[in-house]
């Protein structure tokens, strides 16, 4: 396993535990993609026959060989304006107006360890897990060189890709497109699985056959967005959870992204992914380089579940720079849905006492603690205590809370500024806005220009002051609007196209500095909920608030879609009050907890408004989650049903040693005279015997008999559940391997 260069055949073969990836230096130095799929031996250039495809031009040097065209050959990184009319990977313009890119092989290097990217998060190895292949291509007209970077994590079945674009010429070159990856799949039929949505309904899975032409999954909102998550899957039509070939393409990026999938005239599929080129340009001076965001590629030959497991493990172990197991993270109660802006010192202390009495570990003080903020019209940027609400100071309040034995967390929205704030009055030019034009307003706030180093420095110093001087263990980092009016007061006119990407680089710089300076603080990402749920943010934030929608029935599909690429340990999920504040729906307390236990688990309610019975139920939920959270956070996650389809949604977690499993089910459509509820479990040891340790039903009267069954019986024959009637009842079963 690893990287092999065959000098005779001019092939590079990247081999992981289950897959092979091969490319070849072809005629005239073009780098051709030969194969990616199930692990296999040999040279695969025999697959790609010459063919004369009408109106597909030939390179000048091969003008008499009409069977060889860039327009029909699979490529590793496509150029532009040179005879390949399919999706380009790189488009550039010289000072003389020469447009396009003609990229040819120059050299390569194979080395131990993992490459790094300047200013960008990227996967890392924890020892000797990775080898790097660097292949340099050059365009002699522009003087550009493209260093294609491949990180081969053989045991993890992951290949990472990025591109470093270097100006080796003597004049500036303007980049108009700089993709991270081009992946050509010359044969087969494919379907696209992507994850769309909107605020409070993120990552809704949609699977469709490819159409002839180009399909795009993209965001130009300045964030990865609620609307289109950057992660996509290509799969064969017969691919299921447990069988079939599929490929994952996951950008490690939190800004404007674009993945284009083209089905061309010959039936070949090309995937090009990276920074969204709309509105993008980058002036590359001589000697400078530009690094593209990283893409995590994986291929599963055994269905969607193994692909998800690969991403889950890889993000936990090789993307999150500091991983804390769920068993070591505090269970929190957030003040937002408990009080919104309506609190003061006495109310917070009362909430803290109630929180401590329940047995919760942490109180998080959400929006409204700073400046003179009583609603969302003011004070963003004024990160000092609201003295009207907190007359004795923030340190006094937090010390009183920690003296109760609680940890304290804090909500911030550092990237934003209110027009009614001391910060804006002092520095109006720090906000993004087009000169001479009134800016668009969203949630009564503007966006700080994080492309400017002095603003990033100010934010680092301001937030460091909070974290250094106060007993804060957790930061909820929010972003409640997207980027509009893109214009920086600090960039010249010919570099304004760099702003959106420079904003993300500034954000990463700020988060990198803060997480290094305060390694004991747990950062949770949030962007109006799940509007920036991506691998780039997970490099700094171990968890992300999955959605502002806390309704458990809506969360079933949101968390189902999220699970295809992102681990349970990253999914911020809470039990909230009823009627739910987003949907108005009332669901059983136990069902709300069942769904929240498919994430980091916490509470979003006011304990003072609960009955004694409900408080007792919370204590039972806490005991249950604490007993199960290692299994939940580290176990293999299986989707037993498709959320939103059928009468119920079910999922399962299996411990790494297959010794224990948790099965959860929510009945979304109770019926009269119902058909039997039947489940087939997954991921167990077929030869071992499992005993049903617990079967808890919530919102209904039901019971399970004592059972002792083989893993084979549970997986192949399954288990039948008792009749569950009521308003969206739920169930959790725990099975343990018998000695």
The 10s digit of each residue's pLDDT in 231-276 is 999 999 999 999 999 999 999 999 999 999 999 999 999 999 999 9
Q: What is the gyration radius of the CA atoms in the chain, in angstroms?
A: 27
Residue 176, Cβ neighbours under 10 Å: how many? 17
Q: Which numeric CATH code is attached to 2-319? A: 2.70.98.60
Asked if residue 667 lies in contact with residue 729, where contact means CB atoms within 8 angstroms, the answer is: yes
Sign of CA dihedral 351, 355, 357, 358: positive
Which string of b and e fits 82-112 if b means at least 16 CB within 10 Å? bebbbbbbbbbbbeeeeebbbbbbeebebee
Instruction: Report the CATH number of the 648-737 domain.
Output: 2.60.40.1180
Q: Is 540 left (phi over 0), alpha (psi -120 to 50) or beta?
A: alpha
Residues of the chain with CATH 3.20.20.70: 339-637
Query: What is the mean pLDDT of the segment spanning 446-452?
Result: 98
User: Is 614 a known active-site residue?
Assistant: yes
Q: Are 177 and 273 in contact (CB under 8 A)?
A: no
Q: Tell which residue, 163, 252, 265, has the closest CA to residue 214.
A: 265
Q: 508: closest CA among 116, 143, 148, 154?
A: 116
The kind and range of the H/E element at 295 are strand 294-300
Task: Say if residue 706's pLDDT is above 80.
Answer: yes
DSSP codes, 420-486: BSHHHHH-GGGB---TTSPPP-BTTBEEB-TTSHHHHHHHHHHHHHHHHHS---EEEE---S---S-
Mean pLDDT of the chain: 96
pLDDT tens string 72-100: 999 999 999 999 999 999 999 999 999 99
Catalytic residue among 91, 291, 534, 617: 534
Quick one: how far is CA 203 from the chain centroid? 10
Of 261, 214, 207, residue with least CA distance to 239? 207
In this structure, what token pair is assigned to residue 106?
Answer: 């120059």
In this structure, what token pair is assigned to residue 212? Answer: 């002839």
Active-site residue (options: 614, 623, 642, 671): 614
3-class DSSP state for residue 713? helix
The strand pair at 677-679 and 719-721 is best described as antiparallel
**Looking at the chain, which residues constitute the CATH 2.60.40.1180 domain(s)?**
648-737
The confidence band for 62, taking pLDDT boundaries of 50, 70 and 90, is confident
**pLDDT value of residue 68:** 87
CATH 2.70.98.60 residue window(s) in the chain: 2-319
pLDDT in tens, 511-566: 999 999 999 999 999 999 999 999 999 999 999 999 999 999 999 999 999 999 99
The residues that bridge with 737 in the sheet, in sequence order, are 690
Q: What is the per-residue pLDDT across 127-164, written as a single tens digit (0 to 9) for each?
A: 889 999 999 999 999 999 999 999 999 999 999 999 99
The two structure tokens encoding residue 61: 């040097």
**For residue 655, what are its two tokens?**
């411990």
pLDDT tens-digit readout, 276-325: 999 999 999 999 999 999 999 999 999 999 999 999 999 999 999 998 99
- 534: annotated active-site residue: yes
Q: Are 496 and 436 in contact (CB under 8 A)?
A: no
Whole-number Å distance between alpha carbons of 538 and 565 = 12
- Contacts of 156 by beta carbon, 8 Å cutoff, 6+ apart: 16, 17, 129, 310, 313, 314, 317, 318
d(CA 187, CA 183): 12
DSSP H or E segment with residue 613: helix 612-634
Query: What number is the average pLDDT over the span 174-196?
Result: 97
Q: Is 501:219 a contact under the CB 8 Å cutoff?
A: no
Q: How confident is the model at residue 56 (pLDDT cuts 50, 70, 90)?
A: confident
Contacts of 694 (CB under 8 A, 6+ apart): 732, 733, 734
Token code pair at residue 439: 């800016």
H/E stretch holding 261: strand 257-263
Q: How many CA atoms lie within 13 A of 550 on its CB side?
A: 25
CA atoms lying within 13 Å on the CB side of residue 41: 1
CATH number of the structural domain 339-637: 3.20.20.70
Q: In 3D, which of 104, 172, 147, 156 has the Cα closest to residue 495?
A: 172
Question: Whose CA is closest to 114, among 126, 128, 132?
Answer: 132
Half-sphere exposure for 328 (CA within 13 Å, toward CB): 9
Query: What is the share, in percent, of the chain residues with pLDDT greater than 70?
Result: 100
- The three state secondary structure string of 695-734 is EEEECCCCCCCCCEEEHHHHHHHCEEECCCCCCCCEEEEE
Beta carbons within 8 Å of 269's beta carbon, 6+ residues apart: 184, 185, 186, 188, 190, 210, 234, 261, 262, 263
How far is the CA of 467 from the CAs of 251, 332, 389, 537, in angstroms? 31, 18, 20, 20
* Sign of torsion over alpha carbons 282, 510, 123, 216: negative
CA geometry: angle 587, 590, 592, nearest 5 deg = 55
What's 99's DSSP letter?
A: B
Between 44-53, 207-216, 419-428, 610-619, the lowest mean confidence (pLDDT) is in 44-53
- Kindly report, residue by residue over 347-385, the tens digit of the pLDDT: 999 999 999 999 999 999 999 999 999 999 999 999 999
Strand, coil or helix: 589? helix
> pTM for the whole thing?
0.97
Instruction: Kindly tell me the burial class for residue 302, based on how many C-beta atoms sit within 10 Å of its own C-beta (0-12, 13-18, 19 or more).
Output: middle
Q: What's the pLDDT band for 54 if we cut at 50, 70, 90?
A: confident
| C-alpha torsion angle, residues 102, 108, 112, 113 (rounded to 10) | -20
- Asked if residue 739 has pLDDT above 80, the reply is no
Q: Give the residue from 485, 493, 490 showing the smallest Cα distance to 453.
A: 490
pLDDT at 503: 98
**In the numeric block, which tokens belong to residue 639?**
């989707």
Euclidean distance between CA atoms 512 and 28, whole angstroms: 43
User: Residue 341's pLDDT band (boundaries 50, 70, 90)?
Assistant: very high
Rounded Cα–Cα distance for residues 188 and 37 (Å): 12
706 CB neighbour count, 10 Å cutoff: 7
Peptide linkage before 543 cis (omega within 30 of 0): no
pLDDT at site 60: 85
Query: For the chain, how far is it from start to end, CA to CA, in angstroms?
Result: 37
Extract the tokens encoding 301.
């030959």
Calpha distance 151→241 (Å, rounded): 27
The DSSP letter of residue 711 is: H
């Amino acid at each position: 396993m690893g990287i092999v260069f065959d000098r005779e055949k001019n092939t590079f073969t990247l081999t992981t535990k289950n897959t092979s990836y091969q490319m070849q230096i072809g005629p005239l130095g073009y780098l051709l993609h030969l194969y990616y799929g199930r692990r296999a031996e040999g040279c695969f250039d025999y697959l790609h026959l010459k063919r004369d495809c009408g109106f597909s031009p030939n390179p000048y040097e091969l003008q008499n060989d009409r069977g060889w065209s860039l327009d029909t050959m699979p490529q590793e990184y496509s150029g532009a304006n040179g005879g390949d009319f399919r999706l380009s990977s790189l488009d550039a313009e010289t000072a003389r107006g020469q447009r396009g890119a003609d990229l040819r092989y120059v050299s390569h290097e194979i080395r131990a360890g993992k490459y790094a990217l300047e200013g960008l998060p990227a996967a890392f190895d924890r020892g000797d897990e990775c080898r790097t292949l660097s292949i340099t291509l050059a365009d002699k007209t522009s003087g550009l060189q493209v260093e294609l970077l491949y990180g081969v994590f053989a045991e993890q079945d992951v290949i990472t890709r990025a591109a470093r674009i270097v100006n080796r010429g003597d004049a500036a070159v303007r980049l108009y497109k700089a993709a991270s990856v081009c992946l050509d799949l010359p044969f087969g039929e494919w379907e696209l699985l992507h994850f769309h949505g909107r605020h409070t309904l993120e990552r809704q899975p949609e699977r469709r056959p490819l159409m002839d032409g180009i399909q795009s999954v993209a965001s130009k909102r300045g964030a990865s967005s609620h609307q289109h998550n950057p992660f996509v899957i290509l799969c064969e039509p017969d691919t299921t959870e447990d069988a079939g070939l599929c490929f994952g393409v996951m950008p490690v990026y939190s800004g404007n992204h674009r993945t284009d999938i083209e089905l061309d005239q010959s039936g070949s599929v090309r995937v090009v992914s990276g920074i969204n080129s709309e509105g993008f340009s980058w002036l590359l001076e001589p000697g400078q380089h530009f690094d593209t965001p990283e893409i995590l590629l994986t291929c599963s030959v055994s269905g969607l579940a193994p692909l998800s497991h690969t991403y889950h493990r890889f993000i936990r172990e090789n993307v999150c720079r500091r991983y804390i197991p769920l068993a070591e993270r505090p269970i929190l109660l957030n003040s937002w849905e408990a009080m919104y802006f309506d609190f003061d010192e006495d109310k917070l202390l009362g909430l803290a006492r109630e929180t401590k009495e329940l047995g919760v570990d942490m109180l998080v003080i959400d929006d409204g603690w700073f400046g003179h903020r009583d609603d969302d019209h003011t004070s963003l940027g004024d990160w000092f205590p609201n003295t009207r609400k907190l007359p004795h100071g923030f340190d006094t309040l937090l010390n009183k809370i920690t003296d109760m034995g609680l940890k304290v967390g804090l909500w911030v929205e550092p990237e934003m500024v209110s027009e009614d704030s001391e910060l804006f009055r002092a520095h109006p030019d720090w906000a993004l806005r087009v000169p001479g034009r009134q800016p668009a307003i969203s949630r009564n706030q503007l966006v700080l220009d994080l492309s400017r180093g002095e603003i990033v420095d100010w934010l680092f110093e301001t937030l460091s002051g909070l974290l250094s001087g106060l007993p804060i263990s957790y930061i909820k980092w929010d972003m409640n609007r997207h980027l509009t009016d893109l214009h920086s007061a600090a960039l010249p006119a010919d570099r304004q196209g760099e702003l959106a990407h420079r904003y993300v680089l500034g954000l990463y710089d700020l988060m990198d500095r803060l997480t290094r300076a305060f390694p004991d603080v747990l950062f949770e990402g949030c962007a109006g909920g799940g509007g920036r749920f991506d691998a780039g943010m997970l490099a700094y934030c171990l968890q992300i608030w999955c959605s502002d929608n806390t309704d458990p029935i809506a969360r079933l599909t949101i968390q189902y879609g999220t699970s295809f690429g992102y681990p349970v340990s990253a999914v911020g999920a809470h039990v909230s009050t009823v009627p739910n504040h987003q949907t108005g729906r009332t669901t059983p307390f136990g069902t709300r907890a069942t769904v929240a236990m498919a994430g980091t688990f916490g509470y979003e309610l006011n304990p003072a408004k609960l009955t004694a019975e409900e408080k007792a139920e919370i204590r039972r939920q806490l005991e249950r989650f604490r007993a199960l959270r290692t299994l939940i956070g580290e176990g293999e996650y299986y989707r037993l049903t498709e959320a939103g389809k059928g009468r119920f949604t079910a999922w399962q977690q299996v411990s790494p040693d297959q010794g224990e499993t948790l099965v959860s089910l929510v009945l979304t459509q109770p019926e009269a005279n119902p058909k039997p509820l039947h489940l087939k479990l997954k991921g167990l040891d077929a030869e071992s015997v499992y005993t049903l340790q617990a079967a808890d039903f919530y919102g209904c009267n039901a019971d399970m008999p004592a059972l002792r069954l083989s893993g084979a019986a549970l997986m192949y024959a399954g288990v039948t559940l008792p009749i569950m009637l009521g308003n969206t009842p739920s169930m959790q079963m725990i099975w343990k391997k018998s000695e």
